[in-house]
Structure formats: C-alpha cells, structure tokens
Chain A
Amino acid sequence: MKMNYLQPNKKRQSSPGKRAFRITFSFIIILFVFNLFFPNFLFGSIRPVGEFFWKTRDFLFNIVSGPLGLLSSKNNLLDEKKELELRVSQLESEVLSLRSLNQEGVFLNSILQKRAQENSIFSRVLAKPPQSPFDILVIDSGSDEGVFSGAHVWSNGILVGWISEVNSSVSKAELFSSSKRETTAEVLRNGLSFLIKGRGGGNFEVSVPTGTDIVVGDIFVIPSSPSQILAKVESIEEKETDSFKKLFLSSPVNVFSLQWVEVEKR
C-alpha cells in the first residue's frame, strides 16, 4: 500500500538580489531623510573619526619618513626635489601677487588686503585632492576658532576658495577650481570680466569670442578686489573656423601639495 506523506513546508525565501534591493533602497531613503532634516549630523558624527585617522596618518608619515630617509639617499634626493619644487611654486605665487600689486599701483590695496588677512588664522590641511575626489579641502579649524561659512581661504596670498561647511573644530573649504563651479573673474590687465568654470585640480576654463584681448600669461582676479589673484592663463585653444576660443587657466597654487592655508575669521 502506497503511503502519501505530507511534504514539509518549504519556506519561501526571497532571492539575495531582491533582499539587497530592499535594503539598499531603505538605506538611501534613510540617507535622504538625514540629509533633509539633519544636514550636519553625518559630518558632525564622522568628523572625529576622520580627524583621528588623518592626524594618525600625518604622525606616522613623520615618524617613518625620517629613518627611511637616512637609509636611502635616493629618497632623500627625491624629497629634497619635492621640497624645492614646492618652494618654487610658493615663490611663483608670491611673484604673481607682487606683480598684480605693481600693475595696479595698489599700495593702498595691499594695506587693505593685509588688514583683511590680519583677521585670519593659519589652518592645517587634513585632506586634499587626490584624497578627496572633488576640489575640497578639509582643514583643522572650525567655529571654535572663529571660522564661518563663506569665509575666504588663501594660500601664499592667493585666494583659493571659501569655507563651505563648518564644524566646531574642522571645516570644509571648496576651491574655486572645483569641477563645474563658476566664478566671476576679471582680467587684471584690461578689466574684461568673464565667468570662469572650474575643471578640478586647480584648473579652470572659459570660452571667449575670438579676437578678445587675452594672451597667455594674463592674470585673472576677483572683480571686487584686484589684488586677489585667482588664476593665470596657461594656454589658448583656437581654431580658425571657430568664433570662440577656449582659455585654459590654472591657479598658481598647487592644490595637491597644500599643507597650510589662511582662513578668514570673525
């Protein structure tokens, strides 16, 4: 006699893909809600972790680079070369800064600029490109030191960006060269004004009508303050048939090697 046995209930389990979709979707919704109602919560929570690891990284780097440098003369030479390159870059920035002051005959402006920068603090750069994918600097100063949102950020007298997010001890500075960021700038030599677009990595671009009086080497400054240098024209792309020519500009500051910046404070 054939017996029929009841089959055990097979619990229906959702596929891993569907489960992952539900979890991921919920995760994004939660992230959106946090972003909407508590915009500073995430940065405020994660910042201490970031500070700890960035400072640990700098500390370890200082410890390791010393002894290893003694063991390897080739590494010493490479380090020295990097330092000299950085120094050359700093000197070039200072020369540009002085040149702009000379061209404008702006002794008074230099006093005004000095006054503005007297109301500023030096801040260590904790993270910079290429560690950050965007042209964002994370600096070691916050509202406790008087830093405020919108404050200007300088490096060797060159205006590089502004403070976009402030926490108590850490802030984020967005560079003018941040990708797609548009900034109004003026040619120092002839006063022509353009909207230059950031390309990342300290670079900018702008399209101007062919025939516009701009040459390689021209300096772009902030319109309201002629001594605040923004960028310099590095190259011009021009085709005979085009009615526009493309200018490629770069900041005199090497954003990849920034270690200290000056930040405006209240």
Chain B
Amino acid sequence: MMKKNLSKRVLFSVFLFLSVFFFPWWFTIALSVFGIFFFKSFYEALIVGVFMDTLYGGISGKFLSEHATTLALSVLFLVSFVIKENFSFSK
C-alpha cells in the first residue's frame, strides 16, 4: 500500500515538473495546489515554484516580486497543515 502511494506521488511529481515546460502556468499552479492538499508534506511544490520563478520571472530587484510564486506556494503549503488537521485530505 505504501509502495503504491509512493509511486503515485513520484508519478505526480514528475508530471508536475514536466508541466512547467509543457503546459500553461495556471495548470502547473493548479496541479501544485492539488498536490499540496492531496499528498502529505508536498515539498515538491516549493521546488516547482522556484523553477517557475527562475525560468519565467522578471527582474525587479525585489525578492518578494521575483519569487512571488514560490512564496505563495510556501504560504499555501504551511496553511494546508492547519486545514488538513480539520479535514481529511492527505494520504
């Protein structure tokens, strides 16, 4: 059972990573949000956020705007722990 869950997570993470290059940004964000709530401690979303900001982000000289996607996903990631305590999502 654990192996099946792990392989699901690995496949999903690979697909999420590839979506950064193959699909529109909103699709990647939606997948990341889904992963954050569906899987336990989905750190992969933070890595994907870094990829998106680095590859597609502009240069403004401000850390907050240059890494907006990463920061937003980080906040959502942390908030998800609170939400998951009250609702049963993750496996």
What is the interface of chain A, defined by CB distance below 8 A to chain B?
16-17, 20-21, 23-24, 27-28, 31-32, 35-36, 42-43, 46-47, 50, 53-54, 57, 127, 130-134, 136, 138, 164-165, 172, 174, 178
Contacts and interface: CB of A to CB of B under 8 A. Distances in A.
Interface residues of chain A: helix, strand, loop or mixed (majority): helix
A205 B54 CA distance: 28
B16 interface: no
A130 B58 contact: no
Interface residues of B, number: 34
A172 B22 contact: no
Nearest to B18: A53
B81 A20 contact: yes
A31 B74 CA distance: 12
B59 A133 contact: no
| Chain B interface helix/strand/loop/mixed | helix
Contacts of B24: 130-131
B87 interface: no
A54 B58 contact: no
Contacts of B81: 16-17, 20
23 contacts: A16-B81, A17-B78, A17-B82, A20-B81, A27-B46, A27-B74, A28-B71, A28-B74, A31-B70, A35-B63, A35-B67, A46-B55, A47-B55, A53-B20, A53-B22, A57-B21, A57-B22, A130-B24, A132-B25, A136-B56, A136-B57, A138-B55, A165-B59
Interface string B53-91: 011111100010011011100100110011001000000
